[in-house]
Amino acid sequence: MAVQQHKFLLDESEMPTRWYNIIPDLPDPPPPPLHPATREPVGPDDLAPLFPAELITQEVSGERYIDIPEEVQEVYRLWRPSPLFRALRLERALGTPARIYYKYEGVSPAGSHKPNTAVPQAFYNARAGVRKLTTETGAGQWGTAPAFACALFGLECEVWQVGASYDSKPGRKTLIETFGGTIHRSPSRLTAAGRAFPEDHTGSLGIAISEAVEVAAGSDDTKYALGSVLNHVLLHQTVIGEEALAQLRLAGEDSVDLIVGCTGGGSNFGGLSFPFIREKLAGRMSPVIRAVEPASCPSLTRGEYRYDFGDTAGMTPLLKMHTLGHDFVPDPIHAGGLRYHGMAPLLSHIYELGLMEAIAIDQTECFAAAVQFARTEGIVPAPEPTHALAAAIREAVACKASGEEKVIVTALCGHGMLDLAAYDSYLRGDMVDSGLSDEALAAALADVPVVA
């Protein structure tokens, strides 16, 4: 039996030194964010209460590549380059001729891809003299990342966690505190945005964002960190796709047939796919780019593409994006990181340009895929990337029928060690697929502001 390689690793010296900005490569630029009062495009001054100047510059940059500061690279080297694995045992279990690769971000301190952006955000804020960062978190993957990054750069970190996740995942709270952060259940009593809801409300990312933004906007030495949605966040995540491209070359794969990733706010998906979309636009390969979202929170597949608020209280700029309505509160499914009413404006724009496609999958299919993956590949995925795995398995099974030797690349954006209650629910048969009714969707969209 020939020895087949399972891992494709890069040396630290091969780590990307630049982030890739996809905007200048697109045929049209994405529509600008609008000021909620004036409905005019927001300028740097409007964002200055929340973000340091260097991140605002990155948010609107037209440069194709942006250098990663050495201080950030030094932290990245704690876990980057992250491994690319070939799912040899999963392929064998499926009996597929497809070759399945997964880029694994669970090796990071937070156990997910989130530190890729938390670290530069903490770095730029520290360099600007900021003392504290506030942020929100859903499942807790994101909140853990700035808690860690702030510890490295001497910043305080204050996190509002969506109530449903806070209650069901005490481990995330402890992990954030272990890294030195402070954590509150959202809706909290600490903000006007939180007090607008009953204290025992299950919460939502939109509400938690409102709370964190309110505290940052009200203090001179405090700024806000967002874990997804914005251009600079997706920019920082492109190290995932850049490394994957280099690792696929190591694996002898010159071309890829399918890039598939899960989408919540879009940062993991953008990070993986943007470098591949660049290759596609340049005619160097022609992969299908496929986003997978939960059937219960289907912003790309069932939301509307229009201006909406990024948060529930309407404190953020209006963003042109696929949205289910800013006061949409999704069912408390286990993939807390995908429970966001909107989608990154940049990803929404790319979807409208026809450069990618999207599907929605119910969670029980996702967990069935995850258990099969765990029993073959040995990694228990976070609930979010189970969506990508389910879609990768669908494709690999289709390849078995068609005989096609497709190359499938997916992002395993985090491990599920702090999400085992969801696996317990699945293994016991308690997990249900809640979906989203047309009536509930129409009601949620009714409050989206009408922008001419």
Cα-flanking dihedrals φ and ψ of residue 86, to 5°?
-95, 130
Residue closer to a second copy (CB basis): 6 or 39: 6
Coil, helix or strand at residue 183: strand
18 is a site residue for a second copy (CB under 8 A): no
The beta-carbon contacts of 397-400 under 8 Å, at least 24 apart in sequence, are 397/94, 397/96, 399/96, 399/97, 399/98, 400/94, 400/95, 400/96, 400/97, 400/98
Question: CA-to-CA distance for 371 and 262, rounded, in angstroms?
Answer: 17
Contact 406, 284 (CB under 8 A): no
92 is a site residue for a second copy (CB under 8 A): no
Residue closer to a second copy (CB basis): 353 or 421: 421
417 is a site residue for a second copy (CB under 8 A): yes
Residues 98-137 that bind a second copy (CB under 8 A): 107-109, 111, 115
253 is a site residue for a second copy (CB under 8 A): no
1 is a site residue for a second copy (CB under 8 A): yes
368 is a site residue for a second copy (CB under 8 A): no
Task: For residue 301, give Cα distances in angstroms to 276, 297, 324.
Answer: 22, 9, 10
State how beta strands 99-104 and 84-86 pair: antiparallel
Determine whether 4 is exposed, middle or buried from the number of CB atoms within 10 Å of its CB (0-12, 13-18, 19+): exposed
Coil, helix or strand at residue 2: coil
158 is a site residue for a second copy (CB under 8 A): no
Residue closer to a second copy (CB basis): 83 or 298: 83
Residue closer to a second copy (CB basis): 173 or 184: 173
Residues 136-155 that bind a second copy (CB under 8 A): 148, 151-152
CA geometry: angle at 286 spanning 283 and 289, to 5°?
Answer: 125
CB of 402 to a second copy, least distance (A): 28
Q: What token pair was written down for 248?
A: 């696929």
Contact residue for a second copy among 177, 221, 254, 447 (CB under 8 A):
177
Contact residue for a second copy among 5, 255, 286, 402 (CB under 8 A):
5
Contacts with a second copy, residue ranges (CB under 8 A): 1, 3, 5-7, 9, 11-13, 70, 74, 77-79, 89, 107-109, 111, 115, 148, 151-152, 170-171, 173-175, 177-180, 371, 374-380, 415, 417-418, 420-421, 423-424, 427
